Amino acid sequence: MTPRLVIVGRPNVGKSSLLNLLAKRKVSIVDPTAGVTRDRVATEVTLPATDGHDRPLTVELIDTGGVGIVDNFDLGADIERQIAEGLAEADVVLFVVDAQAGITPLDETVAKLLRTSGAQSKPIVLVANKVDASNFEADAWEVMQLGFGEPVMFSAVTKHNLHDLHAALRDAIAKAPQRTDEGPDTEGELKLALVGKRNAGKSTLLNALAGQQRVIVSEHAGTTRDSVDVRVRWPDADAPGGFGSFIAIDTAGVRRTKSLDGDLEFYSQHRSLRSVRRADVCLLLLDATLPISQTDHLLTQEIQKHFKPVVIVVNKWDLVGDRMTQDQYVEYLEDALKGLTFAPVVFISAKEKDGLKEAIALANNLHEQAGHRMGTGELNRFFEQLFKERGPGTNKHGKQPRLYYTTQVDTHPPTLAMFVNDPELFDHNYQRYVMNRVRDELPFSEVPIKLLIRGKQKMTAEERVAAKVDD
């Protein structure tokens, strides 16, 4: 079981900075503006060995929004609900206060919440943050008035007493009641990035997949700011107990770069695009009620740039009515969204939970396609026949193109290397012809493929054998 550590506190006490420090990467957006974090932002963190704990320990660390935030979109109640659900799932609570500011009425509100929410039955680590050096510690003892024992004097900026924080967390985990629900094995879990423009329905889809209000959904564009990873338990006949799991990554809505409003939107968009890079498969959400936009093209380019398998998910199809058939919409997509004509299309209504099984089944299928490996002999028989049917033309000097052999050098994405006498003879038009034939006849019809053309003067005896015999 992976222990769950939930960070709580009022706005701007350094909760997100604490998570990023322990994760050793920028997971949550950090900004002086109060209320940046709205959803629960979770990541796996490895705590080092400490006195009394001789092995590193992997935990799930969860950041939450600030208690008592006043939100411009009137999302305060939704943020409070996210905090309450995080506390209910927690094994250990990190109560973070700003030691330099002293105790505030909102800190007292958080303390009351912890005493009345059921969290009091769990280990609570009081963290006095912003104790940047030893000379700041004297004033930090004031936080003991909150009634949660001796604080850990700590600074997420200078890392002052980081070892003490690690030790306090390990001790608290050891005292936490053991959960009976064994979490799924995370090794090799499929990562699905939900990407799309604002208000395409990404958060609604994630909540529908998770079966709970895991992220905040609002009619206001830009509600989601962080990229939020959520482990989803999903029916799977081949998995133990009939259920498997995958990681769904909710992302902030993408806009044209010149339309971004300030640093918050810039960092939100940057993390959305980064989620494409770390995903195994992307679900590109399109709003069926709106035309394809420049933002959709931006996301298409990012997906193609990183050779990511993608399911085109047409959301809000229930709102289209009789205005268009699915076949007509697919024809529209082929003309309006260039570059992804090979990607499968599924029509869903995230709000009505319609079409979700088909979308996930397609994502799993694409992941399997991208991981398929072909034997060198099988590939060479295919490419030899292709080369006989149509080869590149000679150059102006009469040089004849020669194909020595082809091999698959990688998966995710499938990467095929053609070794030839002169790569310049295999121009873009011929490469496009090769890719079309590969999609038509090899088991990579719906995923991006890398084709490498490499020059080679001659084949060795071992290569000639490998080119004729399957792996």
- Give pLDDT, residue 278: 81
CB neighbour class for 459 (10 Å; exposed up to 12, middle 13-18, buried from 19) = middle
Find, among 318, 345, 316, 319, the residue nearest to 332 by Cα: 345
E strands, 130-239, are 152-153, 190-196, 228-235
Cα torsion 206, 255, 336, 227 to 10°: value is -30
Q: How many whole angstroms separate alpha carbon 64 and alpha carbon 13?
A: 12
Please give the Cα distance from 235 to 195 (Å, whole number).
Answer: 23
pLDDT for 210 equals: 81
Q: Which residues of the chain have pLDDT under 70?
A: 1, 28-39, 68-79, 178-188, 213-227, 237-243, 252-273, 395-396, 457-471
Tokens describing residue 404: 């020595």
pLDDT of 295: 83
Contact 164, 152 (CB under 8 A): yes
What pLDDT score does 358 carry? 94
Angle between helices 294-305 and 262-278 (to 10 degrees): 40
Distance CA 248, CA 194 (A): 7
pLDDT of the residue at 266: 44
Q: Please, what are the domains in the chain?
A: 4-175 (3.40.50.300), 190-369 (3.40.50.300), 376-468 (3.30.300.20)
CA distance 337 to 165: 50
pLDDT of residue 299: 86
pLDDT the model gives residue 68: 58
For residue 289, the model assigns a pLDDT of 92
| pLDDT of res. 90 | 85
Place of tokens 């099988």: 378
* Residue appearing with tokens 């064994």: 182
